[in-house]
Amino acid sequence: MNRTRPISGDLLTLKNEIEGYAIEYGLDFFPQIFEVCDYDTVNILAAQGGFPSRYPHWRFGMDYDQLSKGYAYGLQKIYEMVINTDPCYAYLLQANNWVDQKIVMAHVYGHNDFFKNNAWFSGTNRKMMDVMANHGTKIRRYMERYGQDNVEVFIDRVLSLENLLDVNVLFDTPELQRKKRSVDIKEMGAGEDDNFLVDDRSQALKAFMRSKSRNEKKDADPKAKTDEHEESAQKPLAKPTRDILGFLMEYAPCEEWQSDVISCLREEAYYFLPQRLTKIMNEGWASYWHSTIMTQRALDASEIIEFADKHAGVMVMGRQNINPYKVGIELFRDIEYRWNTGRFGKDYNDCTNMKDKAAWDTKLGKGKEKIFEIRKSHNDISFIDEFLTPDFCDRQQLFTYKFNPRSGRMEIDTRDFEAIKQKMLSQLTNFGQPVIEVEDANFKNRSELLLRHVHYGVDLDMQYAHQTLKNLYGIWRRPVNLATAYEEKEVIFHFDGKEMKVNH
Amino acid sequence: MDHPIKRDHARFRKIIKGKIRDNLRRYVSQGQQIIPKGTDKFTVPMPSIDIPRFKFGDKSQGGTGQGDGQAGDPVQGQPDPNGKPGQGEAGEGEGSKELDVELSLEELARILGDELELPNIEPKGKKSLKSTVDKYTNIGSSGPDSLRHLRRTYKQALKRQISSDSYDPENPTVVPIRRDFKYKSWQTKVQNENAAVVIYMMDVSGSMGDEQKEIVRTESFWINLWLKSQYKDIQIRYIIHDATAKEVDEQTFFRTRESGGTLISSAFTLCKQIIDADYPPTEWNIYPFHFSDGDNWSADDTKLCLDLLDNHIIPASNQFCYGQVESRYGSGQFLKDLMARYGQGHEKLILSKIKNKEGILDSIKEFLGKGK
């Protein structure tokens, strides 16, 4: 059954019109395909991360349940979905009115341009639609063979570690991987039989071959020790790794299909990572362009109120969290203005005459050039780090808040620029996730796994951490440890399959 | 064909129902948690079944926001990581902390039934009404084209071709002819409509406190749920009594607080009158429930009660249930009296002692465990 269909008629004409404006403004994008669908389909797509076909998992069902309810009760509505692929697919809700469709299309061209040009997306597999579908087929087949419950439980465990990614992996080219591995192998002094894996074959294939060779080894020597942990993993690690899924795929005592499942989920997690790293920029950029295209070109005079209403809805400020759309678009506009008027650099910063400063305009006119340059090379962290100014924070009424244990509520803490910037940066660090590294795969010389939480001042949620350790144990199958700090004390959590212990 | 996500959805529902079953005791003993929505839907709040991850503790983190106000002013509500407006991006969002799960009456009743291993109720022999239902469960060889069953038709054609040796595996073309056509067809089923009435009687004398009423409320909620799932048509009547009895609506039943003495016979008399007036026992499945703290005014009244039970109420009912809620003031004598008279294993009279909220589930099992 086809749940989506290509646009035609008026919408197609509109697409061509908007695409013309996008080209005129210098946006550089993948071929754009729009399809329309009903709200149920949009909910399905959104629940599946934008993709029409995913592996079977209850979590998609849960998200679908909530989205459907949200729509039915009128709490939320998804206007559009856009997927980072080449060609770039975007889904429009059939029931959108005309102005909505215009905004959404203009917005999508902004995303598309960002996907194509931003450096953090440079390594993305643009044929992800097929890859996801293949993962679905593979995992379905494993479920048939090994039982749905078994595979699902394993997927649950792997998903538990899905956020433990190493940003640098995004820039791993095959050559780089090869180099890294040969260095690792030398330092680890692993056996020769590892060398044949050092090439640019896909991770999945490698995982497959590795498990094959391991199984052969086992078969050849039935008296071999039953400890399945790879000898190589028992050598001290050359350096800690943050790519936990990658590590487990290589070294955990997994069956063939299990390594393959890890590899599938890891690939998908890394696919979504650039979007998590550029939320503010991506939404800001797309909003900047829908606003520009709509107000300067596409809007009919009769549509202006409706546009303003919808636009304001998207830009609404949150008291509890930063709206990435709002901060993003305002920051891009601010940068454009500053580079048009030359309000940056030593001369401007050192100027102490407030009158001069307020009227500062060198007629530099480099605003457009600057924002295009920024969208190419920055991610949210560097974007905020470099372009957030005290003026901007003031104008946007930004503040930080924290929990006041005495009143039992969240309270505004400060409007100090440095504090706001620090807070925003720390929230964006490592895409908002705690930094966790594999420190030792042979902890206490007992094949135990030691993870270290690199503590930057915020404790982990202990309940979640315990559950996560249990899931990790299910994959590693030997006791697992997590070194972290809790309430300003160094602690190591130890889970041996039966109980959780805390060692100070 | 449905989208595969419906299977994910079904899987999710299954997991959730499992969780509710595991925690049923908690839901039952905490009373209020399950909220009826309309006539046959319920909302069950439950902690989100997030996949556990290493993540930052919420409170120590704080955050950044936008808006006016000075240092020390409260930021309304709690931070909501999902508070995105209008449009959404693929693959983002952490999911909310609480799930509100919607269950139908049947689903919830089945969970209760599974957990307590309740037998289905065998309605009394006297069937009151009969109705017929048509269900498409059959396959026939004639019918309108719109009901043609394609798969069966082709299967039949394939069979015919194989048996007549006109099937060529190299060129597996199957062409149905008129004779192969199969149609969906219906079967008429006679269903017995069993009508049932539940009559709740509660002692609202001074010794029945709020906690005791809460127990009765919770218990009757689950009993209703089970009986509703068993009978298509069910009526519920409420009687409160102290020294006198009156019939009230549901609201009043659970809210009223009276004081004064207790004459249980007054309720039983009213119950008998209701049955006599509206529910001929030959046509109705009758379930009287009586809840009290066991204090009756006098031994004479108790005697009168036993009389009413023996001669009128018990013969008319499927079963008569007496639940005694423990209270600080009640003597609990009535249960002892009934016990002395009927013993534990009586056919149609069930006695149950409910110590506290944790005892509700066991008491429900005692009441409904016989399948009557």
What's the one-letter identity of residue B47? P
Binary contact (A164, B54; C-beta < 8 A): yes
Contact criterion met (CB below 8 Å) for A280 and A425? no
Tell me what pLDDT residue A195 has.
Answer: 43
Sorted by where each begins, the domain ranges of chain B are 1-50+97-117, 130-190, 194-368
What's the one-letter identity of residue B10? A
Within-domain flag for A252: yes
Contact criterion met (CB below 8 Å) for B333 and B295? yes
Helices marked H in B94-235 = 105-116, 150-163, 210-230
Whether the pTM exceeds 0.80: the reply is no
Q: Which of B53, B66, B70 minimises the CB distance to A468?
A: B53
Q: Is A52 helix (H, G, I), strand (E, B) or coil?
A: coil
- Residues A255, A135 share a domain: yes
Tell me the average pLDDT across B232-261: 82
Which of B91, B109, B108 is closest to B16 using CA atoms?
A: B108
Query: Based on the structure, what is the number of domains in chain A?
Result: 4
The Cα of A397 is separated from the nearest Cα of chain B by a number of Å equal to: 5
- Per the document, the length of chain A is 504
Within-domain flag for A46: yes
Contacts B58 to A, Cβ<8 Å: 461
Contacts A399 to B, Cβ<8 Å: 64-67, 69, 71
Starting at the edge strand found earlier in the chain, the sheet holding A398-404 runs: A409-414, A398-404, B63-66
Looking at 3.40.50.980, 3.40.50.740, 3.30.465.10, 3.40.50.410, the CATH number of the domain B194-368 comes to: 3.40.50.410
Distance CA(A142)–CA(A260), nearest Å, equals 10
Angstrom distances, CA of residue B232 to CA of B123, B223, B364, B372: 12, 15, 21, 15
Tell me what pLDDT residue B97 has.
Answer: 53
Q: Which of A3, A156, A396 minimises the CB distance to B3?
A: A3
Contact criterion met (CB below 8 Å) for A108 and A150? no
Within-domain flag for A39: yes
Q: What is the pLDDT along chain A (504 residues), one digit of tens a residue?
A: 578 889 999 999 999 999 999 999 999 999 999 999 998 999 999 999 999 999 999 999 999 988 888 888 777 778 888 999 999 999 999 888 999 999 999 999 999 999 999 999 998 999 999 999 999 999 999 999 999 999 999 999 999 999 999 998 888 776 777 676 666 555 554 444 444 444 445 555 555 555 555 555 444 444 444 455 555 455 555 578 899 999 999 888 989 999 999 999 999 999 999 999 999 999 999 999 999 999 999 999 999 999 999 999 899 887 888 899 999 999 999 999 999 999 998 889 888 888 988 889 998 999 999 999 999 999 999 999 999 999 999 999 999 988 888 887 888 889 999 999 999 998 898 988 999 999 988 888 888 999 999 988 888 988 889 999 999 999 999 999 999 998 888 999 999 989 888 887
Contacts A458 to B, Cβ<8 Å: 56-57, 60-61
Tell me what pLDDT residue B86 has.
Answer: 34
Q: Domain ends where: A429, A450, A485? A: A429
Kindly report the average pLDDT of chain B as a whole number: 80
Going by their DSSP bridges, the two strands B63-66 and B35-37 should be labelled as: unpaired
What φ, ψ does residue A38 adopt, rounded to 5°? -85, 175
Tell me what pLDDT residue B98 has.
Answer: 66
* Number of Cβ atoms within 10 Å of the Cβ of B54: 25
Q: Which of B1, B11, B63 minimises the CB distance to A401?
A: B63
- Residues A296, A258 share a domain: no
Residue-range definition of the domain harbouring residue A110: 4-118+278-311
What φ, ψ does residue A339 adopt, rounded to 5°? -80, -20
Contacts B88 to A, Cβ<8 Å: 46, 78, 81
Tell me what pLDDT residue B206 has.
Answer: 73
The neighbouring-strand residues paired with A227 are none
Least confident of A221-235, A404-418, B31-45, B332-346: A221-235
Its ipTM equals 0.83
Largest CA distance in chain A: 86
Binary contact (A160, B51; C-beta < 8 A): yes
- Residues A374, A271 share a domain: no
- Residues A222, A266 share a domain: yes
Structure tokens at B72: 């020390």
Tell me what pLDDT residue A465 has.
Answer: 92
Contact criterion met (CB below 8 Å) for B192 and B229? no
- Residues A272, A139 share a domain: yes
- Residues A104, A150 share a domain: no
Q: Which of B51, B64, B78 minimises the CB distance to A424?
A: B64
The Cα of B43 is separated from the nearest Cα of chain A by a number of Å equal to: 12
Q: Is A432 helix (H, G, I), strand (E, B) or coil?
A: helix
Strands (E), A166-287: none
The confidence band for B81, taking pLDDT boundaries of 50, 70 and 90, is very low
Token pair 């940068």: residue: A335
Enclosing H/E stretch for A325: helix A324-341
Instruction: Enumerate residues 6+ apart whose C-beta is below 8 A from A229.
Output: A251, A253, A441, A447, A478
* CB-based burial, B14-42: b 16+ in 10 Å, e otherwise: ebbbebbeeebeebbbeeeebeeeeeeeb
Return left, alpha or beta for A447; rule: phi > 0 is left, psi -120 to 50 is alpha, else beta.
Answer: left
Which of A437, A464, A454 is closest to B54 using CA atoms?
A: A464
Within-domain flag for A83: yes
- Residue to mutate among A54, A89, A411, A436, with most B CBs inside 10 A, is A411
Please give the interface size between A and B, counted as residue pairs whose CB atoms are below 8 Å apart: 237
Binary contact (B5, A322; C-beta < 8 A): no
Q: Is A470 helix (H, G, I), strand (E, B) or coil?
A: helix
- Residue to mutate among A159, A321, A384, A469, with most B CBs inside 10 A, is A321
Within-domain flag for A20: yes
Contacts A495 to B, Cβ<8 Å: none
Within-domain flag for A123: no
Q: Which of A64, A77, A410 minimises the CB distance to B78?
A: A410
Structure tokens at B204: 């609202």
Tell me what pLDDT residue B128 has.
Answer: 54
Which of B351, B294, B297 is closest to B325 using CA atoms?
A: B294
Q: Is B247 exposed, middle or buried (0-12, 13-18, 19+ CB in 10 A)?
A: middle
What φ, ψ does residue A451 adopt, rounded to 5°? -100, 145
Contacts A467 to B, Cβ<8 Å: 52
